[in-house]
Amino acid sequence: MTVITGWSAVSAHGRGRAAFLAGLGSTPADPLVPDVPATPGQGGVRLDRASLLALAALEELVADVDTGDRAGLVLGTTSGSLHTEMEHMRSSLTEKRPHHLDPKTIPSGTMNCAAAQCAMRYGVTGPNTTLAGGTGAALHALGYAARLLVADRADTVLVGAVEESTPSRTAVEHAAHGVRPLGEGGAVVRLERAGGPRPVLAEVLATHGVLGPPETCATALLRRAGLDRSDVWAVLGPVEGFPDAVTRRLPEPGLGDTGAASGAFALATALGRGEPGEHVLVLAHDADGTTAGALLRLADSTGEAQ
């Protein structure tokens, strides 16, 4: 059994847990995360927005226990910093020579930059994984991170997802899936094996992914957790077959399409607003036909999140 013992988020509602919870359900005027610190990258790197958001998302959460060889980091993404990748290509096409791109941004053009920079800043030297999984990235990542714990490759894993909002992402997303409001941000949880000293916020009863509809994924999650539909207190995700009263108990983040961060925000919503002792089902479904999900049981007394 793996358990969540902490979480944090950065979103257009602001930086940190309190701002996220205060803003839930409302739509901020500005879809961007306010006041993202322009942290200098390690090793001279000029950081992309996704990496800055990841660093900011970890800021409030990371503690001594989350560093060293027995600590891991698993970060979900759609495709890293698309803006940086496209900037490199723009430079290649428009500068005097085709390799004249900005050297300091080169590391940011690779998907694992955010996770690697977080590891450097905070000293997380165990498994460091970047996982591309669309809007379900954080839920896939939660399952992957749980496996690292079961396999005894780490004692704690920080796991979540980030997404940046940039002109490049907007252009590509609008071309791909139509014009709609896009948002950004990230959320990260601390995952550990049960039985540790820190207060438990939630148990991760099951994670599951399918190439299929949300219904299939939901059914599998319930079966694996040995639960009935009536046991589920709230659902975050596009699935029918649960009474309306149940599906509407938790607010939407109100942040637009936040890509890979959306699954992470759903986890944060469940942790921050869920009823003690209740079950929350989180699902993310994408146009490529994939569904990822997680089933949580919130602790009887969640106490103060940290």
Residues 147-176 that bind another protein (CB under 8 A): 147-148, 150-151, 153, 171-173, 175-176
CA–CA gap between residue 73 and residue 118 (Å, rounded): 8
Q: Within 13 Å, how many C-alpha atoms sit on residue 134's CB side?
A: 16
Cβ proximity to another protein, 52 vs 113, nearer residue: 113
CA distances from 209 to 80, 216, 217, 289 (A): 21, 9, 6, 11
- Minimum CB–partner distance for residue 171 and another protein (Å): 6
Given the complex with another protein, which of 15 and 208 has the nearer CB atom? Answer: 208
Tell which positions 233-262 bind another protein, by CB under 8 A.
none
Q: How far is the CB of 155 from another protein (least distance, A)?
A: 14
- The answer to the question of residue 65 lying near another protein (CB under 8 A) is no
- Contact letters for another protein, residues 90-109 (x by CB under 8 A): xxxxx-xxxxxxxxx-xx-x
Shortest distance, position 248 Cβ to another protein, whole Å: 29
Binding track, positions 208-237, relative to another protein; x by CB under 8 A: xxxxx---x---x-----------------
- Compose the 272-301 pattern: x for residues touching another protein by CB under 8 A, - for all others: --------------xxxxx-x---------
Q: Which amino acid is at 256?
A: G
- Applying CB under 8 A, among 6, 14, 31, 80 the residue interacting with another protein is 80
The CA-atom distances, in angstroms, between 233 and each of 207, 230, 242, 251, 301 are 17, 8, 10, 13, 16
Stretch that binds another protein, among 56-64, 113-121, 237-245, 297-305 (CB under 8 A): 113-121
User: CA torsion sign, 26 to 29 to 30 to 31?
Assistant: positive
Q: Which of 126, 186, 253, 254 binds another protein (CB under 8 A)?
A: 126
Half-sphere exposure in the Cβ direction for 73 (13 Å, CA): 32
- Least CB distance from residue 64 to another protein, whole Å? 15
Of the residues 23, 133, 160, 256, which one makes contact with another protein according to CB under 8 A = 133
Taking the complex as a whole, the smallest distance from the CB of residue 258 to another protein amounts, in Å, to 14
Q: How far is the CB of 199 from another protein (least distance, A)?
A: 27
Q: CA 221 → CA 170, 282, 284, distances in Å?
A: 33, 10, 13
- How do strand 156-163 and strand 71-77 relate by DSSP bridges? parallel
- For another protein, which is the closer residue by CB, 124 or 218? 124
Tell me whether residue 151 or residue 245 sits nearer to another protein (CB atom). 151
Q: Which residues in 33-52 contact another protein (CB under 8 A)?
A: 40-45
* Cα gap 198→22, rounded to integer Å: 25
Query: Among 32, 63, 120, 246, which residue interacts with another protein (rule: CB under 8 A)?
Result: 120
Among 26, 27, 39, 128, the residue binding another protein under the rule CB under 8 A is 128
Number of residues this chain uses to bind another protein (CB under 8 A):
83
Q: Is residue 195 left, alpha or beta, with left meaning phi > 0 and alpha meaning psi from -120 to 50? A: left
